[in-house]
């Protein structure tokens, strides 16, 4: 294969951890809320999730330390606008505030592996979180419906990792307009109680290399809307409730495929029809 056509290979572990890569080159900052107001939002996070009991709460709430120096917070290098929150395995207990949308320049929201963090996506997300490119809320205790209309409007998203909630997890359908997220590379709904079919618009996700819908149990239909995702390298669809016929040329659709897990579905091969 000529080098210029060789697919970039990703490590699947990347899809289960939070990216710390932040770039705002040439981006125009939204100054709708002052640094003081953004600090207040962070303090709501602290107060609603038992911040005094976090594993690491260095500088949080310290009036003499800028919020940009608090543990897990990253700000734009020219001012105090919050662009990243990373609180992984930090013993957050409670719920995240509804005011996160006020962080108008937030690029990365990585709050995962906090088994006692509850609440719903409706309480956390807003369609005007248009700068967010990494949404990592895996391995918590979140639940509730999947806000499809909201997610479909967050068009900067590159990573949606919502898998592996500790109890009931999320329910609902994959957003029908998921194809609007043309920058999406990772889509993780593993362990969620999904229903309905895989939407046609998913075929627009030409950069998607990781897809996790495992244990959805109640999806319907087959592969028809996945065959154009030639960039896929990891496809985890075990126990998803899918059915239908696997085409003879199945492997040709995914030239970059590294791992494909389809067990526990109701597929047949073409010659079995």
Write out the DSSP string of 13-37.
Answer: GGGGS-------TTPPPP-SS-HHH
Q: Of 131-145, 178-192, 243-257, give the lowest mean pLDDT range.
A: 243-257
| pLDDT tens track for 38-79 | 999 999 999 999 999 999 999 999 999 999 999 999 999 888
Q: Which structure tokens are listed for 201?
A: 């618009």
Other C-beta atoms lying within 10 Å of the C-beta of residue 239: 19
260 half-sphere exposure, CB direction, 13 A CA radius: 15
Write out the DSSP string of 91-102.
Answer: --EEE--GGGGG
| pLDDT tens track for 108-124 | 999 999 999 999 999 99
Inter-residue contact 228 to 205 (CB < 8 Å): no
Q: What value does the CA radius of gyration of the chain take, rounded to a whole number of Å?
A: 20
| pLDDT tens track for 77-99 | 888 999 999 999 999 999 999 99
Fill in the DSSP letter of residue 124. H
pTM comes to: 0.92
Inter-residue contact 238 to 265 (CB < 8 Å): yes
Distances (CA, A) of 27 to 78, 83, 154: 12, 12, 16
What pLDDT sits at residue 12? Answer: 78
Q: Which structure tokens are listed for 152?
A: 């479909």
Which positions ≥6 away from 93 have C-beta within 8 Å? 49, 50, 53, 114, 116, 117
Q: Residue 82: name the closest of 156, 29, 123, 134 by CA.
A: 29
Whether the per-residue pLDDT at 2 is higher than 50: the answer is: no
What pLDDT sits at residue 8? Answer: 61
Do the strands 82-86 and 73-75 form a parallel or antiparallel pair, or are they unpaired?
antiparallel
| pLDDT tens track for 24-46 | 555 689 999 999 999 999 999 99
Other C-beta atoms lying within 10 Å of the C-beta of residue 253: 15
| pLDDT tens track for 143-174 | 999 999 999 999 999 999 999 999 888 999 99
What pLDDT sits at residue 21? Answer: 62
Whether the per-residue pLDDT at 193 is higher than 60: the answer is: yes
What pLDDT sits at residue 24? Answer: 58
Edge-to-edge, what's the strand order for the sheet holding 186-188? 73-75, 82-86, 108-110, 134-136, 159-161, 186-188, 210-212, 234-236, 259-261
Inter-residue contact 258 to 12 (CB < 8 Å): yes
| pLDDT tens track for 261-272 | 999 999 887 665
């Amino acid at each position: 294969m000529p080098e210029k056509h060789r697919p970039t290979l990703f490590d699947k572990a990347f899809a289960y951890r939070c990216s710390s890569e932040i770039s705002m080159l040439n981006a125009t900052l939204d100054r709708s809320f002052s640094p003081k107001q953004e600090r207040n939002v962070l303090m709501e996070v602290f107060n609603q999730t038992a911040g005094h009991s976090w594993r690491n709460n260095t500088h949080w709430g310290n009036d003499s330390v800028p919020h940009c120096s608090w543990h897990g917070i990253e700000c734009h290098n020219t001012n105090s606008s919050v662009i990243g929150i990373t609180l992984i395995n930090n013993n957050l207990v409670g719920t995240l505030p509804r005011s996160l949308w006020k962080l108008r320049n937030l690029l990365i929201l990585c709050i995962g592996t906090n088994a006692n963090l509850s609440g719903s996506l409706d309480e956390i997300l807003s369609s005007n979180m248009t700068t967010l490119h990494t949404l990592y809320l895996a391995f918590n205790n979140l639940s509730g419906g999947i806000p499809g209309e909201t997610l479909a409007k967050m068009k900067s998203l590159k990573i949606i990792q919502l898998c592996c909630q500790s109890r009931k997890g999320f329910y609902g359908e994959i957003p029908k307009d998921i194809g609007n997220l043309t920058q999406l590379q990772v889509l993780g709904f593993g362990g969620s109680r999904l229903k309905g079919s895989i939407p046609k618009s998913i075929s627009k996700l030409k950069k998607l290399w990781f897809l996790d819908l495992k244990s959805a149990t109640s999806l319907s239909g087959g592969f028809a809307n996945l065959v154009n995702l030639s960039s896929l390298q990891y496809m985890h669809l075990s126990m998803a409730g899918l059915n239908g016929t696997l085409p003879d040329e199945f492997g040709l659709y995914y030239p970059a495929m590294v791992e494909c897990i389809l067990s526990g579905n109701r597929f047949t091969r073409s010659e079995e029809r």
